[in-house]
Amino acid sequence: MFERRAKRSEQQEMFVVRKEITQPRVGGFYQKLELTLKKCGFIDEVWELCLPHYAEEKKGGRPGIDPVVYFKMQMVGFFENLPSQRAIAARCEDSRAIREFLGYDLTEATPEQSSFTIIRQRLPQATVEAVHAVILRALRQHGLLSGKQLGIDSSVIEANASLRELKHRNTEQSYWEYVKKLAEEAGVDPTDIKAVRRFDKQRSGRKTSNEEWVNPHDPEAKVGRTKHGATDMIYKPEHVSDLESGAIIRAEVRPGDAGDTEEVSERVAEAIQTLGEVAGEEDLTKLGQEVCADEGYFALREIGRLQEMEIRVVISDPQAGRRRKNLPAEDRAILQRAQRGVKSASGKSSCANAENISSAASAMCSITAAGAAPRSAAART
């Protein structure tokens, strides 16, 4: 076995004519996707939208990524449920089918994951949303975007910031120095790091307010709970999806301490407006006829506003068993309409569809949102 390895290490250069290399059989999906993108004019439109943000002459450094390649790599990450930019770059480098989809030869190096951040900083939010609209318009033309039943959901991603680097907004005192001072006042040796950490975890009234503390390296990150219940610096990506196809209509990175119920009716209205623009329909009542979400989005006033927009709401009331019976007639009517939507057969079906597409959409939003501008966009193609 060792002799065989030695022989392989002495292998000389080998030349193979390109046309003699067999085409990957597993690449049928990406081949069809490429044909579809060409038919809808995706490549030309993306170049036209992104051209103003690229210099005509190179000024040194690593060559920039073709914006078409960048958005195609984002599609690969979505379709294959890849958890990070690094995973997307590795998958694109390893697969012959994806290389063909991106337009890279076997001898060419595909973009590295570090280049994702550079191109994201280059392209403004308005340009990304314009590319998003191109994809949504193509989905609509192919009958893959109905826009009648919408689902809204949020996730949590950890920011690239540490709690240890927090500073008080007024005094600029570091959080660690603040804790050491409290430990010393409580009789704990401030030089014993482990003892100070135990004190910080166990001290009564422990609370880190975003109004008092900020991370200077990432001021937009907020202190909050992660999916595992730990306290960390976080963001909250949120997406509005079409429940029939799974297309992401709208994606936004919200502050980590923002509540799901805050102005949810306005965010749904913006998603419907986006649908109207890509669908070319003046009558928006044909779009966004129903919205589905988990009980974390239930707020009486916001539900009422959605109902005033003639949107059927399928969101469970977490306080249904504790609601007072002497509510005003208007509030009772809102609750009754919401309850009918949840208990109906179509409402149960919408909730099931929302659960099926939520995890994939949340994963893609997290990938796109990591290090991005406050609002980003991604769509199923």
| pLDDT tens digits along 200-217 | 877 777 777 888 889 888
Residue 209 burial (C-beta neighbours within 10 Å; 0-12, 13-18, 19+): exposed
Average pLDDT over residues 32-44: 91
Contact 177, 255 (CB under 8 A): no
Give the pLDDT of residue 370.
43
186 has pLDDT over 90: no
CA distances from 290 to 132, 240, 268 (A): 22, 12, 10
Portion of the chain with pLDDT greater than 90, in percent: 27
Contact 102, 31 (CB under 8 A): no
What band does 60 get if pLDDT is binned at 50, 70 and 90? low
Give the pLDDT of residue 150.
93
Q: Where are the beta strands (DSSP E) in 191-350?
A: 213-214, 222-225, 231-242, 248-255, 290-292, 312-314
Average pLDDT over residues 118-133: 89
Give the pLDDT of residue 377.
35
Q: Which residues contact 317 (CB under 8 A, 6 or more apart)?
A: 295, 298, 323, 335, 338, 339, 342
In whole angstroms, give the CA distance from residue 299 to residue 268. 14
Task: Please state which of the ranges 33-42, 345-354, 367-376 shows the lowest mean pLDDT.
Answer: 367-376
Q: Which residues contact 104 (CB under 8 A, 6 or more apart)?
A: 110
Give the pLDDT of residue 175.
83
Q: Tens of pLDDT along 355-377?
A: 665 555 554 454 444 434 333 33
Average pLDDT over residues 128-147: 90
307 has pLDDT over 60: yes
In whole angstroms, give the CA distance from residue 95 to residue 91. 6
Give the pLDDT of residue 306.
94
65 has pLDDT over 70: yes
Give the pLDDT of residue 365.
52
In whole angstroms, give the CA distance from residue 144 to residue 127. 23
Treating both helix axes as pointing N-terminal to C-terminal, what angle do 42-50 and 67-79 enclose, rounded to 10 degrees?
Answer: 120
Indicate the pairing of strand 290-292 with strand 149-154: parallel
Give the pLDDT of residue 157.
87
Q: Tens of pLDDT along 12-36?
A: 566 666 666 666 565 588 989 999 9
In whole angstroms, give the CA distance from residue 237 to residue 225. 14
Q: What is the pTM of this model?
A: 0.78
| Mean predicted lDDT score pLDDT of the chain | 81
83 has pLDDT over 70: yes
Residue 75 burial (C-beta neighbours within 10 Å; 0-12, 13-18, 19+): buried
Average pLDDT over residues 83-107: 89
327 has pLDDT over 90: no
Q: Tens of pLDDT along 279-298?
A: 876 667 788 899 999 889 99
Q: Show the domains of the chain with their CATH numbers.
A: 23-55+63-123 (no CATH), 143-159+234-369 (3.30.420), 163-225 (no CATH)
Give the pLDDT of residue 23.
62
Give the pLDDT of residue 48.
93
